[in-house]
């Protein structure tokens, strides 16, 4: 890794990832919906602190993420997170595994910032006092404390994405799944999110078209038509992906 500045040191390859990272295992997972095969006999395990996933639109990347927290039921095979079945123990898994969606407008359900952050916390049974504490903490952590009482529809796209992420981080997950986090962001906000991602101690599995974001990940996986076709170090897989889609 060429960048060794202090702020980055504790990021992607530092800060004891093994403590937080969960082991995610796909065993022969197929997902077939309306005659379309979204995933085709996928067997793979993730336990690194950072894993990137690349693939063209419709290749199955989002479906893969959704299977991890039981939002999609496989037609065949099983998905397990630290040994827990993704469908049967979805609730427990969602407590330790957050998902940041592409469009923050689909993720934010409350009219104001603090109410929305509280939503996830209340669902998982945190007390009022803890909720208030964690909401404040998450906002400070992402540098958006001034937004606490703001109304969602007044925020910019970048601010909404950070609010959505704050909502995910507030429950202290061990893993955060990112589904194309910079897709709707302008350059400035994209850089902001990149910096946040670098400094994230939680395990992160990132689906992205923004290949630079994944450049220093220890592992990147390439999906094509529902199958894993390449799996290895970022430099190798990304080069292969670029070449394949010239």
Contact positions toward other proteins, by CB under 8 A? 66, 69-73, 87-88, 91, 94-95, 98-99, 101, 103, 105-112, 119-120, 122-125, 151-153, 167, 171
69 three-state secondary structure: coil
Nearer to other proteins, 106 or 245 (CB): 106
CB of 124 to other proteins, least distance (A): 5
Q: How far is the CB of 236 from other proteins (least distance, A)?
A: 32
Which residue stretches of 43-127 are H helix?
61-68, 90-96, 104-107, 113-123
The interaxial angle of helices 113-123 and 157-169, nearest 10 deg, is 30
Token pair in block for residue 55: 């693939």
Instruction: Give 192's contacts (C-beta < 8 A, 6+ positions apart).
Output: 158, 162
> Which is closer to other proteins, CB of 115 or CB of 224?
115
Q: Which is nearer to other proteins, 11 or 74 (CB)?
A: 74
Kindly state the smallest distance separating residue 222's Cβ from other proteins, in Å.
24
Distance of CA 168 to the CA centre of its chain: 9
Q: What is the number of alpha carbons within 13 Å of residue 213 lying toward its C-beta?
A: 28
Q: Nearest approach, Cβ of 142 to other proteins (angstroms)?
A: 17
Residue among 41 and 150 whose Cβ is closer to other proteins: 150
- Least separation, in Å, of the C-beta of 38 and other proteins? 13
Beta-carbon contacts of residue 89 (< 8 Å; ≥ 6 apart): none
78 touches 88 (CB < 8 A) = no
For other proteins, give the closer residue by CB, 70 or 226.
70
CB of 88 to other proteins, least distance (A): 7
Q: Tell the smallest beta-carbon distance from residue 138 to other proteins (Å).
A: 13
53: left (phi over 0), alpha (psi -120 to 50) or beta: beta
If the CB atoms of residues 79 and 144 are measured against other proteins, the closer one turns out to be 79
Q: Is 180 left (phi over 0), alpha (psi -120 to 50) or beta?
A: left
User: Given the complex with other proteins, which of 3 and 154 has the nearer CB atom?
Assistant: 154
């Amino acid at each position: 890794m060429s960048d060794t500045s202090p702020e980055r040191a504790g990021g992607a390859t530092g800060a004891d990832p093994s403590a937080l990272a969960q082991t995610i295992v796909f065993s022969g997972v197929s997902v077939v919906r309306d005659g379309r095969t979204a995933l085709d006999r996928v067997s793979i395990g993730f336990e690194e602190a950072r894993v990137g996933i690349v693939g063209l639109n419709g290749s199955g990347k989002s479906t893969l993420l959704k299977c991890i927290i039981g939002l999609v039921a496989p037609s065949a095979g099983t998905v397990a997170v630290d040994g827990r079945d993704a469908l049967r123990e979805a609730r427990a898994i969602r407590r330790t595994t957050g998902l940041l969606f592409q469009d923050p407008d689909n993720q934010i359900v409350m009219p104001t910032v603090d109410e929305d952050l509280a939503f996830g916390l209340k669902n998982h049974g945190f007390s009022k006092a803890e909720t208030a504490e964690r909401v404040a903490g998450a906002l400070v952590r992402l540098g958006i404390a001034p937004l606490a009482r703001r109304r969602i529809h007044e925020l910019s796209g970048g601010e909404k994405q950070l609010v959505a992420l704050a909502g995910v981080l507030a429950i202290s997950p061990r893993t955060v799944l990112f589904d194309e986090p910079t897709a709707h962001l302008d350059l400035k906000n994209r850089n902001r999110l990149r910096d946040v991602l670098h400094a994230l101690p939680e395990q992160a599995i990132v689906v992205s078209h923004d290949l630079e974001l994944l450049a220093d990940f220890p592992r990147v996986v390439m999906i094509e038509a529902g199958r894993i076709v390449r799996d290895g170090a970022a430099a190798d897989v990304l080069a292969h992906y670029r070449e394949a889609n010239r």
